[in-house]
Chains A and B, each alone.
Chain A
Amino acid sequence: MLRPRLARRIFPLLVVLLICTFARAADPSDALAGLLKRLAGADESERKAALAAMEKDGDARLVPALIAYRDGLLAVRDNQVVVYGNRVEIEGRGKVYPVLDALTLAPVTEKSGQAHFEESLPATVLRAPRAVRTQISNLISSLSLLDPNPAKRKAAIIDAGDRADEKSLASLKSQLERDPGGRFSAPLRESIARIHLAHGSREEKLAAVGELGKLASGNGGMSLRKALEALEKSPQRDAQLEQAIHQSLQTVESYQKKIRFIHNTFAGLSLTSILILMALGLAIIFGLMGVINMAHGEFMMIGAFTTYVVAEAFRRHMPGAYDWYMLAAVPAAFLVSAFAGYLCERLIIRHLYGRPLETLLATWGLSLILIQTARVYFGDTLSVASPTWLQGGWEVAPDLVLPSLRLFIIGFCAVCIVIVYVVIRFTSFGLLLRATTQNREIASALGVSTRRVDGLTFAFGTGLAGLAGVIVPLYNKLNPNIGQEYIVESFMVVVVGGVGNFFGVLLGGAGLGFLSKYIEPLYQSFHGLASSASVLGRVTVLILVILFLNWKPSGLFPARGRLADA
Chain B
Amino acid sequence: MLDQQVSPIAPQDRSVRTLRIITVAALFSLFFIIIPTLCGAGIIRDHYLNQLGRYICFAIAAIGIDLIWGYTGLLSLGQAFFFCVGAYAMAMHLALPQGGGDVRPEYNMIPQFMFFNNVHSLDHAPFWIPFRSRAFAISAGIFLPAIVASIFGFFIFRSRVRGVYFSIITQAVAWGAWLLVSRNEMLLGGTNGLTNFYKPLNQSRPWIVTLYLASLTMLTLAYLACRWITRSSLGRVLVAVRDKETRLYFSGYRPYRFKVFAFAVAAVLAAIAGMLYAPQMGIITPARMKVEESIMMVIWVALGGRGRLWGAIFGALLVNYTYSMLTSDMPSAWPFIQGAMFLAVVLLFPQGCVVLWDRIEVQVANRAGALAILAAAGPLLAISFFILLEALGLMPHALRQDLHGIQPKYILLLIAIGGSAFASWRLRQSKLKQVTAVALAGAPLAIMEGGAS
Q: Which residues of A contact B (CB under 8 A)?
A: 286, 292, 294, 348, 351-352, 354-355, 357-362, 364-369, 371-373, 375-376, 484, 488, 491-492, 495, 499, 532, 535, 538-539, 542-543, 545-546, 549-551, 553-555, 565-566
B346 touching A565 by the CB < 8 A rule?
no
Measured in the bound complex, the distance between the Cα atoms of B168 and A286 in whole Å is 14
A361 touching B302 by the CB < 8 A rule?
yes
Selected contact of B298 from candidates A360, A367, A371, A499, CB within 8 Å: A360
A351-B347 CB under 8 A given contacts A361-B303, A365-B339, A549-B165: yes
CB-CB under 8 A from A358, the residues of chain B are: 302, 346, 350
Measured in the bound complex, the distance between the Cα atoms of B339 and A498 in whole Å is 31
A369 touching B336 by the CB < 8 A rule?
yes
The secondary-structure label for the interface of chain B is helix
The total of Cβ contacts below 8 Å across the A-B interface reads 128
CB-CB under 8 A from A539, the residues of chain B are: 176, 179-180
Chain B, 302-351, CB within 8 A of any chain A CB: 302-303, 306, 332-333, 335-336, 338-343, 345-347, 350
Selected contact of A354 from candidates B3, B156, B341, B345, CB within 8 Å: B3
Selected contact of A566 from candidates B3, B156, B163, B182, CB within 8 Å: B163
- Residue with the greatest number of chain B CB neighbours at <10 A, chosen from A360, A492, A543, A555: A360
Selected contact of A368 from candidates B1, B3, B168, B339, CB within 8 Å: B339
- B213 to nearest A CB, angstroms? 32
| CB of B261 within 8 Å of the partner chain | no
CB-CB under 8 A from B3, the residues of chain A are: 354-355
Selected contact of A294 from candidates B164, B175, B295, CB within 8 Å: B295
Q: List 6 A-B contacts (CB under 8 A).
A: A352-B347, A358-B350, A360-B75, A539-B176, A542-B175, A553-B161
Which 6 residue pairs are nearest across A and B when measured between Cβ atoms? Answer: A365-B342, A368-B339, A369-B339, A372-B335, A542-B176, A553-B161
A553-B165 CB under 8 A given contacts A355-B3, A532-B183: yes
| B157-194 Cβ-contact flags toward A at 8 Å (1 or 0) | 00111111101110111011001101101000000000
| B37-73 Cβ-contact flags toward A at 8 Å (1 or 0) | 0000000000000000000000000000000000000
B338 touching A365 by the CB < 8 A rule?
yes
B346 touching A352 by the CB < 8 A rule?
yes
A364 touching B171 by the CB < 8 A rule?
no
A365-B155 CB under 8 A given contacts A535-B180, A553-B161: no
CB-CB under 8 A from A367, the residues of chain B are: 339
A566 touching B345 by the CB < 8 A rule?
no
Measured in the bound complex, the distance between the Cα atoms of B95 and A556 in whole Å is 46
A355 touching B164 by the CB < 8 A rule?
no
CB-CB under 8 A from A362, the residues of chain B are: 342-343, 346-347
B336 touching A546 by the CB < 8 A rule?
no
Selected contact of B302 from candidates A360, A369, A371, A542, CB within 8 Å: A360
A538 touching B179 by the CB < 8 A rule?
yes
Measured in the bound complex, the distance between the Cα atoms of B250 and A140 in whole Å is 80
- B229 to nearest A CB, angstroms? 21
CB-CB under 8 A from B168, the residues of chain A are: 491-492, 495, 545, 549
Name the CB-closest residue of B to A554: B165
| CB of B275 within 8 Å of the partner chain | no
Q: Which residues of B contact A (CB under 8 A)?
A: 1, 3, 75, 155-156, 159-165, 167-169, 171-173, 175-176, 179-180, 182-183, 185, 245-246, 291-292, 295, 298-299, 302-303, 306, 332-333, 335-336, 338-343, 345-347, 350
- Residue with the greatest number of chain A CB neighbours at <10 A, chosen from B3, B295, B342: B342
CB-CB under 8 A from B347, the residues of chain A are: 348, 351-352, 362
CB-CB under 8 A from B156, the residues of chain A are: 549-550
B302 touching A553 by the CB < 8 A rule?
no
CB-CB under 8 A from A546, the residues of chain B are: 169, 172-173
Name the CB-closest residue of A to B171: A488
Measured in the bound complex, the distance between the Cα atoms of B246 and A365 in whole Å is 33
Measured in the bound complex, the distance between the Cα atoms of B162 and A58 in whole Å is 74
Measured in the bound complex, the distance between the Cα atoms of B348 and A365 in whole Å is 14
Measured in the bound complex, the distance between the Cα atoms of B448 and A338 in whole Å is 46
B339 touching A366 by the CB < 8 A rule?
yes
B342 touching A361 by the CB < 8 A rule?
yes
B172 touching A535 by the CB < 8 A rule?
no
- A564 to nearest B CB, angstroms? 10
B343 touching A348 by the CB < 8 A rule?
yes
A535 touching B165 by the CB < 8 A rule?
no
Measured in the bound complex, the distance between the Cα atoms of B175 and A355 in whole Å is 27
CB-CB under 8 A from A542, the residues of chain B are: 172-173, 175-176, 179
CB-CB under 8 A from B180, the residues of chain A are: 535, 539
CB-CB under 8 A from B303, the residues of chain A are: 361
A553 touching B159 by the CB < 8 A rule?
yes
A535 touching B179 by the CB < 8 A rule?
yes
Measured in the bound complex, the distance between the Cα atoms of B161 and A348 in whole Å is 30
Name the CB-closest residue of A to B292: A484
Measured in the bound complex, the distance between the Cα atoms of B155 and A368 in whole Å is 35
B164 touching A365 by the CB < 8 A rule?
no
Measured in the bound complex, the distance between the Cα atoms of B168 and A495 in whole Å is 7
Selected contact of A366 from candidates B163, B185, B343, CB within 8 Å: B343
Measured in the bound complex, the distance between the Cα atoms of B295 and A484 in whole Å is 13
B299 touching A361 by the CB < 8 A rule?
yes
CB-CB under 8 A from A351, the residues of chain B are: 347
CB-CB under 8 A from A376, the residues of chain B are: 332
A488 touching B338 by the CB < 8 A rule?
no
Selected contact of B342 from candidates A286, A364, A566, CB within 8 Å: A364
Selected contact of B335 from candidates A369, A535, A538, A553, CB within 8 Å: A369
- B184 to nearest A CB, angstroms? 9
- Residue with the greatest number of chain B CB neighbours at <10 A, chosen from A354, A365, A372, A545: A365
Measured in the bound complex, the distance between the Cα atoms of B163 and A425 in whole Å is 27
B155 touching A550 by the CB < 8 A rule?
yes
CB-CB under 8 A from A286, the residues of chain B are: 164
Name the CB-closest residue of B to A499: B164
- What 4 new A-B contacts, CB under 8 Å, besides A365-B339, A535-B180? A367-B339, A369-B343, A499-B165, A535-B182
A553-B341 CB under 8 A given contacts A352-B346, A358-B350: no
Measured in the bound complex, the distance between the Cα atoms of B183 and A565 in whole Å is 40
A357-B302 CB under 8 A given contacts A351-B347, A371-B335: yes
B172 touching A545 by the CB < 8 A rule?
yes
A368-B159 CB under 8 A given contacts A362-B347, A492-B172, A553-B165: no
Measured in the bound complex, the distance between the Cα atoms of B444 and A338 in whole Å is 44
Measured in the bound complex, the distance between the Cα atoms of B337 and A155 in whole Å is 56
- B420 to nearest A CB, angstroms? 24
CB-CB under 8 A from B167, the residues of chain A are: 292
CB-CB under 8 A from A355, the residues of chain B are: 3, 350
Measured in the bound complex, the distance between the Cα atoms of B339 and A327 in whole Å is 35
Measured in the bound complex, the distance between the Cα atoms of B163 and A348 in whole Å is 23
A361-B346 CB under 8 A given contacts A539-B179, A546-B172: yes
CB-CB under 8 A from A365, the residues of chain B are: 338-343, 346
B291 touching A488 by the CB < 8 A rule?
yes
